[in-house]
Structure 1
Amino acid sequence: MADRIEDLLPQTQCTKCGYPACRPYAEAIAEGTAEINQCPPGGADGIRKLAALLEKPVIPLNPANGIERPRQVAVIDETLCIGCTLCIQACPVDAIVGAAKLMHTVVADLCTGCDLCVAPCPVDCIAMVEVTTGKTGWDAWSQQQAEDARKRHQFRVFRLRREKEENDARLAAKAAAKLRQAEAESCATPEEQAAQERKKAIIQAAMERARQKKEQMAALPASQSTGMNDVSRSVRKQIHEVHTRLEQQNEDKR
């Protein structure tokens, strides 16, 4: 029954019925927990179809869910778009294309007019434009369009689930690698652990000496930062030997 009810819904995935998508609304109607008059995109004609299927009386559209109106399509003012991707994340049928920090645009033929992209936009650059003036409900929408929208929504749900599973798998692999590393370190012999600690201590000591030397050099006046302090030990030895020979020569001359 839920399948048959879903076939009579316009598949705009607009959530105006109070459910996250058309399928959950169809299931709620089949279970008797939702009324048949909660779908504004389907309008009065949609209510009549559902009433006939379920052998229920035709009732007016519930105004709490919205009003029946011509079909609309989202249009993005590309001069104002900042490329935040929030509208892309909100679109239930992947009708918006673009990338982070780049201009977005709506593929009009794919847009169901759900207007879920309007509210998240931080710069109010999305407007809903009527494309079926004078035609509302199923008069503004075809069964083929509904079927296409349902397929795109189903693929989006599949894509998001796959991306989440892949991301979870990457995080799990990363956690497993860290765990293996920790286990390897914990399984090291006392000698290996001691050697690792000595290496860490040597590296830390060297880094500390370099830091202190850098601070000392930075604290010296420019006139003292050059001279013998900047000369290597081997060069100092050579200079000392030259001075020694000169002094010896002077003594011989005397």
Structure 2
Amino acid sequence: MTKPLADILEDLLPQTQCTKCGYPACRPYAEAIAAGEADINQCPPGGIEGVRRLVSATGRTVIPINPVNGVERPRPVAVIDESLCIGCTLCIQACPVDAILGASKQMHTILPDLCTGCDLCVAPCPVDCIAMVPVTTTTGWDAWSQPEADAARARHDFRTARLARERLENDARLAAKAVQKMRDVTAETTNTPEELAEKERKRAIIAAALERARNKGTPT
């Protein structure tokens, strides 16, 4: 069975999940290349070697990295100034590969062996306590390896699945609370027109919330 082109292209990307290509992750970029909607020179972390790898699968011509997407550079690792960290968790939420440890109102720290150098944690930090520090003198794939790419991809996929599961679980909890609230409102005793009107108002609000929950995620 022939492997889909998008799968082949995804395997050739460095899996830093940095979004510099203009897509939210490496997989969407691979799909865009396969569909002819993106060029092969939009991945600075892969560098010119990454372009050559994509050429091998697409038959396109080697071209320089598009400066709009960034430049090929030594691989950096995020470093947190722990004396300034306020424990806001925004960097944790931004990290695509779960390379940051910490909790709300507690000091955070980077796991350097897991950091892909994506830069995504820098901008959200409200106290500018994160710096990107080069850890190699080589660039592109010479500063990275296939095992590191495979591990980063696995962590990204695990995180994506975990967040999706947590959203579903949260939606289920909210829906259950809404159902119970509807039961409570229905059971309320009404003696006056005003009380009846208020009861119907509450029922309408809860019914609308339940309908939104049922339609959540439904394609439009």
TM-score (norm. length: structure 1): 0.72
Is the helix fraction higher in 1 or 2?
A: 1
Aligned-pair CA distance for 1:184: 2.4
Aligned-pair CA distance for 1:166: 0.9
Equivalent residue number for residue 27 of structure 2: 23
Equivalent residue number for residue 39 of structure 1: 43
Return the letter of the residue paired with 1:21.
A
Alignment of 1:49-64 (within 5 A): 49-64=53-68
Question: Paired residue for 1:153, among 150, 156, 163?
Answer: 156
Is the strand fraction higher in 1 or 2?
A: 2
Mapped pair 1:87 → 2:86 = no
RCO higher in 1 or 2 (8 Å CA, sep ≥ 6)?
Answer: 2
User: C-alpha separation between the residues in 2 aligned to 1:10 and 1:79?
Assistant: 32
Task: Report the secondary structure of 1:75's partner residue.
Answer: strand
User: C-alpha separation between the residues in 1 aligned to 2:126 and 2:116?
Assistant: 21
Return the letter of the residue paired with 1:136.
T
Return the letter of the residue paired with 2:85.
C
User: C-alpha separation between the residues in 2 aligned to 1:52 and 1:102?
Assistant: 47
Alignment of 1:59-70 (within 5 A): 59-70=63-74
Count of residue correspondences = 189
Aligned-pair CA distance for 1:53: 1.2
CA displacement 1:10-47 (0-9 Å, x = unmatched): 00000000000000000000000000000000000000
Task: Report the secondary structure of 1:48's partner residue.
Answer: helix
Equivalent residue number for residue 186 of structure 2: 183
Aligned-pair CA distance for 1:144: 0.6
Moved over 3 A (4+): none
Task: Report the secondary structure of 2:34's partner residue.
Answer: helix
Aligned-pair CA distance for 1:181: 1.4
Question: Paired residue for 1:14, among 15, 18, 36?
Answer: 18
User: C-alpha separation between the residues in 2 aligned to 1:168 and 1:97?
Assistant: 26
User: C-alpha separation between the residues in 2 aligned to 1:162 and 1:64?
Assistant: 35
CA displacement 1:200-232 (0-9 Å, x = unmatched): xxxxxxxxxxxxxxxxxxxxxxxxxxxxxxxxx
Equivalent residue number for residue 74 of structure 1: 78
Mapped pair 1:139 → 2:142 = yes
CA displacement 1:65-85 (0-9 Å, x = unmatched): 000001000000000000000
Mapped pair 1:110 → 2:114 = yes
